[in-house]
Structure 1
Amino acid sequence: MKRNHSFLVFFMMTFVVMTAFMSCNKFEGDQEIPAYIHVDTFMFTTDYAFEGAASHKITDVWLYIDGNLQGCYEMPATIPVLKRGEHSLMLIPGIKLNGNSSTRTINPFYKPYEIESFNLEEGVIDTILPTTRYYSKEESTIEFAFIEDFERGTNLEKTDVSDTTVILTDRDAPDAWQDAEGNSHHSGYVWIGDTIDFFCIKSAEEFSNLPNQGDYIFLEIDYKCTNIFKVGLLARTGGIEQIDLIYVNPSPKWNKIYVNLGPNITDYQEAQYFEFFIAGNLDGATEAEYYFDNIKLVYRD
């Protein structure tokens, strides 16, 4: 079923974390015992050829009953529902925008999971197994401006000031990101140490047609690293202007972050084009390792 995208964006912009984690305080009619909905996680799938690997970090479920927001809940969640009988349900995947717990939002590019009629019973815990995917071209104007999975070389390159560049891991290396479908065999790898104490890699492609009206533009990055790194933009104005966006903490296991580029693209409407970059230095360490994969630039045209 097609959804009204402006409806979703409206709630993303207006509901902050304090209002997101809310619940009803009134029972329906003479109801004294709530019904319960349990959600462990979302199952996420992609069309690999066009959307890349099925990598996600969906942390929350935004629950709507009969079109009304009940709340945002970190998963796994057992949600008390102060209703009974037949109701429509909509479960929307939620993420931590820019990796920040205080900026939880729905992912505007992931399709909600909808149940037209669901029977809620007092005192009963019903487990729902929601699925989601990117909106299709027929359902939305979603665009994948960049997908880097390191399976056919790389579309990243070192900047002029970088001491080194990104290389591919060996096929099926123990530290490489791998998916259950067997599509992923390589990841990007950067090592710094000794006299190589700084790296900065950027997209080899220049992006000149990104929306600049405050729309969500997500840069998705899977990473595993032993030291901090930063993500930013290079804007071609009169010269090249560097825009530092966020710093990402080390993670010994594969992690994922959704970086919203939208506000900064809007701030530089005069720019001819943009490139994104990832950079890191030793910062007191003797060496550092960085693995990257499933880098995607996603927006709605």
Structure 2
Amino acid sequence: LTSCSKFEGDQTVPAFIRVDSIGLKITSIDQGSKSAYISDAWIFVDDELIGAFELPCLVPVLYQGNHSVTVKPGIRLNGLINLRSAFPLFTSITQNLRLIPDSVTVVKGSVINGKVTPMVQYAETTTIEVTEAFEDAFYVFDTTTNSQLDMSLTPSGTPFTFEGDHSGMVTLSDTLTYFEMYTDEKYTLPRQSTPVFLEMDYMTSIPITIGVYSYSSSEIIQHPVLVLTDMPKWQKVYVNLTPIVSSQTSATSFRIFIGANRLESDPAGTVYLDNIKLIHQ
């Protein structure tokens, strides 16, 4: 992450702004799980960018006195450590803080797991088209005709469940080597580089492909967007669908698909999924 310090007058001793972590507050049941992975803090003082910093962070700034400090939550686009962005579908945190040279000022929040954690929410301009927590057998996904097997649920109480009673799971074997599901409805999604994301929690021992089907009056096209490699522990990913959706100017609607393909050289493996959300501005 890159950053820059802001000098104010002749001040040479910095004040420090500390951000331990940032959490997600859910404001209605329709928004689904509060699970989030906010990896970075984009820090502004009086609307001027100081820099983007991996959490937790202690940021030197050459300001003193009362100032407006804004923290924008940052994510790893497509799960890539070198591709980071402030997340436009969450709100920001703005607090009036007193900055004192050679002293630490903490961005205020609740103490969660020993860390001071200010909270963000989904922005009022954010639309949540899909939320799937796999708590019952009625999914918002259908298995495609290409798939050799269906999604199932983890047994209640198993350690493989991310949260709640169940997560989604599918196991590929020597004879069942391909799985694919897509949303049971088509969605009209915004273009012109308007942010469109798929967020989900996953754990897998085989690669997962995520993408969209685009539908126009003359054709249906499958567009793979991201391949997630094996991940032995639960991980949140924010898949950036904005470029592919905006590029399909003739499409009238879209479905989201998630697939897994076991190659002959691969051992049998299982994909676990939870808290899938299709969100956009």
User: How high is the TM-score relative to the length of structure 2?
Assistant: 0.91
Aligned-residue identity in percent? 32
Q: RMSD value over aligned CA atoms? A: 1.4
Note if 1:263 corresponds to 2:230. Answer: no
| Residues 192-230 of structure 1 deviation map (CA, whole Å, 9 limit, x = unaligned) | 0120111111111111x2112211001111101111111
8 Å Cα contact 1:222/1:254 also seen in 2: yes
Does the aligned pair in 2 maintain the 1:48–1:54 contact within 8 Å?
A: no
Please, which runs of 5 or more residues in structure 1 have no aligned partner? 1-16, 179-183
SS at match of 2:29: helix
Match of 1:132 in 2: 120
Runs of 4+ displaced beyond 3 Å: none
Looking at structure 1, the residues matched to 215 and 169 of structure 2 have their Cα atoms a distance apart, in angstroms, of: 27
SS at match of 1:259: strand
Question: Structure 2: which 5+ runs fail to align?
Answer: 108-115
Q: Match of 2:246, SS?
A: helix
**C-alpha distance in 2, partners of 1:272/1:83?**
51
Distance 1:281 1:288 in 2: 10
Instruction: Give the equivalent residue in structure 1 for 2:179.
Output: 199
Counterpart of 1:287?
Answer: 268
Q: Could you say which residue in structure 1 is the equivalent of 2:191?
A: 212
Corresponding residue SS for 2:128: strand
Q: Whole-Å Cα distance in 1 between the matches of residues 273 and 177 of structure 2?
A: 18
State how far apart, in whole Å, the 2-side matches of 1:194 and 1:279 are: 17
**TM-superposed deviation, 1:81:** 1.0
Shift of 1:82: 1.1
Distance 1:30 1:149, change over 3 A: same
Match of 1:143 in 2: 127
Instruction: Tell me the equivalent position of 1:297.
Output: 278
- Displacement after TM superposition at 1:164 (Å): 1.0
Task: Tell me what 1:176 maps to.
Answer: 161
Contact 1:98 1:257 in 2 (8 A): yes
Cα distance in 2 between the residues matched to 1:295 and 1:33:
46
Structure with a larger share of its residues in helix: 1
Q: How far apart in 1 are the matches of 2:176 and 2:102?
A: 61
For the 8 Å contact 2:23–2:36, the answer to whether it is kept is no
Partner deviation per Cα, 1:258-281 (whole Å, 9 max, x = no partner): 112122112112123211111112
Of 196, 207, 210, the match for 1:228: 207
Match of 2:41 in 1: 61
**Structure 1 residues 225-254: Cα deviation after superposition (integer angstroms, max 9, x where no partner):** 111111111112323211010111211111
Residue number among 50, 70, 75 corresponding to 1:90 in the alignment: 70
The alignment status of 1:158 with 2:143, answered yes or no, reads yes
- Residues 248/86 of structure 1: CA separation in 2 closer, same or farther (3 Å cut): same
1:156 touches 1:166 (CA, 8 Å); kept in 2?
no
Secondary structure, counterpart of 1:80 in structure 2: strand
Give the distance between the partners of 1:188 and 1:48, measured in 2 at CA: 23
The CA distance in 2 between the partners of 1:118 and 1:239, in whole Å, is 55
Aligned partners of 2:7, 2:128: CA distance in 1, in Å?
Answer: 44
Residue 48 (structure 1) shift: 4.8
Which TM-score applies when normalising by structure 1?
A: 0.86
Q: State the Cα deviation string for residues 106-141 of structure 1 (Å, max 9, x = none).
A: 1111111111x2111111122224211112xxxx33
Write the distance in 2 (CA, Å) between the matches of 1:27 and 1:46: 37
| Other structure's SS at 1:36 match | strand
Equivalent residues, number: 269
Give secondary structure in 2 for the equivalent of 1:50: helix
